[in-house]
Amino acid sequence: MLRHSLRCTLFALCLCLTEITSAAQSRARTPLQPADVDAISTLLKLEDARSYDEDTLRTILASAHPEVRRRATQTVGRIADKRGGALLEHARDDKDPDVAATAAWSAGQLRDPAAVPWLSAALTTSSTAHAVQREAAIALGKIQAPQARAALSVYLMSTEAAKAPPAVVGEALLSLGRFPGHEDLAPILRWASSPDVEIRWRATWALFRPRNPAALPQLLRLADDRSGEVRFWAVRGLAPYPGVDPAPSAARLRAAVGDRDRRVRTEALRT
């Protein structure tokens, strides 16, 4: 009797979970209505002509369908008119994370420093959807402003390594590496010993790209990393630096010519 009752309970639970899943999928895949298709067609026309029609965009951004709102937000970025920044203010707080993530992407396309405060908030707030954080990190790298660099540095220094989404950390490292000549390497060095190779090679890239001589000791260490991907970027960063003794780098490059990874060998010869 007890076994029969348990089976019934489990069956009811499975049925309930199935209904919840089906309902969620139904909400996620709400079919487009003819008016929605017309709106998307209008957006495509605006993109093709690079035509900034604020009234039309504002109307479509208010659509009840999340996919239409996402596409309208995307159109703002594709047209890349600075005036579109004002239209993203509502989209960035959209309840649909895909719309909010697209708003961050579009802000990066506009390269508007005025968007840095809310992109920074989206990146550093732990409750933000990971997709939104990731796009915010990418966008900050496109906005070459001191406050954007500061926002990326704050995130990389303050986020808890054990809980940080690897995809977000990786994009933040790549974005920070795009800024030329930054002196403070601590936000990058913090991740250069990560057990995650995907993070480690991005940290290595971020160290090599700005051509800061202070990164050289760390690049020499990373040139012996167990990952070929990490060694590849580290070796690439061992090119001569003005005023720095080239002997240690030259010795490491000669050793790298015999590396087991063909890419590392090739890059050592080029460097």
* One-character DSSP codes across 164-186: S-HHHHHHHHHHHHTSTT----H
Contact by Cβ (8 Å): 190, 157 = yes
Output the pTM of the full model: 0.85
pLDDT at 182: 65
Q: pLDDT tens digits, residue range 92-103?
A: 999 999 999 999
Is 162 a residue whose pLDDT tops 60?
yes
Residue 270 binned pLDDT confidence (cut-offs 50, 70, 90):
very high
Contact by Cβ (8 Å): 238, 208 = no
Q: pLDDT tens digits, residue range 31-46?
A: 999 999 999 999 999 9
Is 15 a residue whose pLDDT tops 70?
no
SS3 220: helix
Cβ count within 10 A of residue 44: 12
Contact by Cβ (8 Å): 230, 202 = no
What are the E-state strand segments in the chain? none
pLDDT at 9: 41
**Alpha-helical regions (H) of 50-110:** 54-61, 66-79, 88-91, 97-110
75 half-sphere exposure, CB direction, 13 A CA radius: 29
Burial 233-264, CB ≥16 within 10 A → b, else e: bbbbbbeebeeeeeeebeebbeebeebeeeeb
pLDDT at 6: 44
Q: pLDDT tens digits, residue range 97-152?
A: 999 999 999 999 999 999 999 999 999 998 999 999 999 999 999 999 999 999 99
* Residue 209 main-chain phi, psi, to 5 deg: -65, -40
User: Measured at the alpha carbon of residue 66, what is the angle toward residues 37 and 46, in degrees to the nearest 5?
Assistant: 50
Contact by Cβ (8 Å): 191, 209 = no
Tell me which range, 12-16, 19-23, 180-184, 208-212, is most confidently predicted by mean pLDDT: 208-212
Distances (CA, A) of 99 to 65, 71, 116, 140, 141: 11, 8, 18, 18, 20
pLDDT at 8: 43
pLDDT at 28: 56
Cβ count within 10 A of residue 214: 14
Q: How far apart are the first and last CA of the chain?
A: 76
Is 14 a residue whose pLDDT tops 90?
no
pLDDT at 176: 96
CA distance 71 to 87: 13
pLDDT at 183: 74
Residue 29 binned pLDDT confidence (cut-offs 50, 70, 90):
confident
Q: pLDDT tens digits, residue range 67-80?
A: 999 999 999 999 99
Q: What is the mean pLDDT of residues 205-216?
A: 94
Residue type, 201: W
pLDDT at 180: 86
pLDDT at 2: 42
Which of 223 and 3 is assigned the larger pLDDT? 223
Alpha carbon 29 to chain centroid, angstroms: 25
Percent of the chain with pLDDT over 90: 84
* Nearest CA-CA partner of 156 in 176, 131, 140, 136: 176
Contact by Cβ (8 Å): 113, 143 = yes
